[in-house]
Chain A
Amino acid sequence: MSLNRRNILTGAAAAASAAMLPRVAMGADSVKLGSILDTSGIFDAYGTPMDMAMRLAVNEINAAGGLLGRQVEVVAYDTQSDMALYTQYGQRLTRQDQVDVVHGGILSASREAIRQTMRKTRTLYFYNVLYEGGVCDRNIFINGVTPAQQVEALVPYAMGKSGKAVYILAADYNYGQITARWIQKFVADNGGDAVGVDFFPLDVSDFGSTIAKIQTVGPDLVIAPLVGGAHLSFFRQWAAAGMKDRIPLASTTMGVGNEHKVLTPEEGNGIMVAYNYSQELDTPANNAFKERWSAAHGDSSLIHEIAVSNYQGVMTWAEAVRQAGSLDREAVIAALESDLSIDGPAGTVTVDPKTHHAVLDVHIMEVKDQGMRVIETLPQRQPIDTQAVCDLQANPDDNTQYEIQI
């Protein structure tokens, strides 16, 4: 064989794909759980703790005897924060590894990259991240909070502590746009007035003019669903301008990737948020979860909202398999649709049969000394945004992500 460029490339590609094969030996009778997450690259702060949570859940399931008397085996791929790799690894999980279930995807774009592959190959898919809502597909189960679940709880509380005039600052992509609409709706429902809405591209890090503009309007409350490192500057500049003690601040995103641990107490204290999980949640379930995490992975300060969602997603699936007594997709979906619920670190998680979203406890919290102090727990909030557009009982063939009109 002559050594030309094409041969070398083929050889290198083969070697690379061989190297990427999972190291775990494929037991013939094990249950295969596929995981597809960004555990390197720019989203690894989200993905790595999610991966750790998934492995913790699987280890616990195996320690308790596995599922259906078989051990659960993890087939995990790192998508390196590259959306193109989702398509590739999604194909591989379903066609080559033929896993029994797939958990994973972080950004909405990554979910949409693999959702149709999962549907076509009839592989059950769990997306365990808070997101903008509206996905209606019988093959997917989603157990992160949606904007309405958060906003419905957060807005009345924050308005109660401040006043009726609300200014909204949101990230300029679908999550921010949709969340801003929900905030406007709930502000109006609570007798308030959205006096201003501004959207920011994800790389904007200078908020000086905006802070001046907010002051000309003079709202009672600012709600900021801002996303990412550049937007974190807003909270810093807001505090630096001395605004923090003048106008209260609330957010639906600050803290999902443990951002509140980056802000100093002077910058962060008092910001109001609403999530399914907080490390400071003082319940026996959460304290035990943190201990198990420390035993398995060491540092429990890495745990965040979507890591817990991922843990709860795996546990929900495992419970459904147990109840179904089978790995058959239809049997597991039937079990999931029978008002199945589990008790996770963040409280009870119930599958909503109509939308395949989750009914969850939402905790209203305030940032306090780089932690999230739980103020109030609103038990079992319905995903009302998705419920308004999606009914998989009546329309099981639906396969849409709805733009929810308010």
Chain B
Amino acid sequence: MDLYVVVLVEVLYGVASLILISAGLAIVFGMIKVINLAHGEFMMMGGYATITAVNLGVNVFVAMLVIAPVAVGLVGLVVERLVIRHLYGRLVDTMLATWGLSLFFIGLATMIFGNTTTGISTPIPGFAIGDYQVNGYNFFIIVAAALLLVAMLSVLKGTRAGLVARGTMQGPEMAAALGYSPDRIYMATFFCGSALSGLAGAILAPLVGLVPTSGGAYIAKAFITVIAGGPSLVAGLLSSASLFGVVNQAFTFATSPVIGEVALLVAAVVLLRILPQGVTGTFFKGKI
């Protein structure tokens, strides 16, 4: 019985971490159609921002939930103004430009922090479920991912800003005719996407050893999740992350981590063969 609870926690954790990893990318790719290959590096910067702040004596939760997203969001803002805004609507060019950015950020982080592994310890102690010890931080990640989805949903659906943003994505000319500047809205959206990437990197930082090249480990999973999710932002993220999280953790638990990773990729290939538009291209149509 205890084992089932532990496995359930691990599966939820797997889903939650996929949601966190992919949220920033989903906004940038899903809403403004920029393929941000520097997404992993934005996460890496979130991790470094957290670790630096904690080493300077800032409370770890403040560092993770406030400092890292704001810092990375600001970096994203600069990047958007200098590079991305010239490339809206040019999908392939954004790929090339953001790939260059990712190399640049890796180099920059190496110069500043050195090419060594750094990290902080998890702020929440482990605890027992029956005979098993589990990582208490997993619960924090599950809660954070759930809150993130709720926040995204309520902002997009419940606020005027969300409505304007969605409207601009559907018809920038119409939004402009109604007096909203698409340029400003794209900028704000990119800021939010970068900040979410930073947040994800920050929240995952205590679980990993961080190096300047850490971002590479996330980028593939993030893209698979976002693309398999399809056009709807929140529903897509939730459905594909749930599917892949369950598949990955179930296979990892039943066999080995190698098979777990393979199973995730196989599931993604099969899914995209059956549903080329992603899960929400067929199901949950019209949802956000």
Q: Which residues of A contact B (CB under 8 A)?
A: 41-42, 44-45, 172, 198-201, 203-206, 208-213, 215-216, 229-233, 236-237, 239-243, 246, 257-259, 262-264, 266-267
Contacting pair B208 A230 (CB below 8 A): yes
Q: Which of A44, A201, A211, A243 contacts B258 (CB 8 A)?
A: A201
Residue on A with the closest CB to B13?
A208
Note all chain B residues with C-beta closer than 8 A to A204: 257, 261
Contacting pair B132 A200 (CB below 8 A): no
When chains A and B are docked, how far (Å) is the Cα of A239 from the Cα of B120? 12
Contacting pair A242 B207 (CB below 8 A): no
Contacting pair B119 A246 (CB below 8 A): no
Q: Which residues of B contact A (CB under 8 A)?
A: 3, 6-7, 10, 13-14, 17, 114-122, 124-128, 131-138, 206-211, 213-214, 216-217, 249, 252-253, 256-258, 260-261
Contacting pair B121 A239 (CB below 8 A): yes
When chains A and B are docked, how far (Å) is the Cα of A239 from the Cα of B123? 11
Contacting pair A209 B252 (CB below 8 A): yes
A59 to chain B, nearest CB (A): 25
Residue on A with the closest CB to B141?
A208
A81 to chain B, nearest CB (A): 9
Contacts A208-B13, A210-B252, A211-B135: A200 and B258 contacting too (C-beta < 8 A)?
yes
Contacting pair B135 A232 (CB below 8 A): no
Residue on B with the closest CB to A259?
B117
Note all chain B residues with C-beta closer than 8 A to A263: 119, 121
Contacting pair B121 A198 (CB below 8 A): no
When chains A and B are docked, how far (Å) is the Cα of A263 from the Cα of B119? 7
Residue on A with the closest CB to B114?
A45
Can you list 6 contacts pairing A with B, beta carbon distance less than 8 Å? A45-B117, A233-B207, A236-B209, A240-B124, A240-B126, A241-B134
When chains A and B are docked, how far (Å) is the Cα of A206 from the Cα of B138? 11
When chains A and B are docked, how far (Å) is the Cα of A216 from the Cα of B253? 11
Residue on B with the closest CB to A233?
B208
A243 to chain B, nearest CB (A): 5
Q: Which of B3, B116, B207 contacts A206 (CB 8 A)?
A: B207
Contacts A230-B217, A232-B117, A240-B207: A212 and B126 contacting too (C-beta < 8 A)?
no
Note all chain A residues with C-beta closer than 8 A to B135: 208, 211, 237, 240-241
Note all chain A residues with C-beta closer than 8 A to B127: 242
Note all chain A residues with C-beta closer than 8 A to B211: 42, 229
Residue on A with the closest CB to B134?
A241
Note all chain A residues with C-beta closer than 8 A to B134: 212, 241
Q: Which of B125, B128, B209 contacts A262 (CB 8 A)?
A: B209
Contacting pair A213 B207 (CB below 8 A): no
Q: Which of A42, A246, A264 contacts B213 (CB 8 A)?
A: A42
Contacts A198-B256, A203-B217, A209-B253: A233 and B209 contacting too (C-beta < 8 A)?
yes
Contacts A230-B217, A240-B126: A205 and B208 contacting too (C-beta < 8 A)?
yes
When chains A and B are docked, how far (Å) is the Cα of A208 from the Cα of B137? 11
B107 to chain A, nearest CB (A): 11
**What 4 A-B pairs have minimum CB-CB distances, sorted nearest first?**
A242-B126, A232-B209, A240-B122, A241-B126
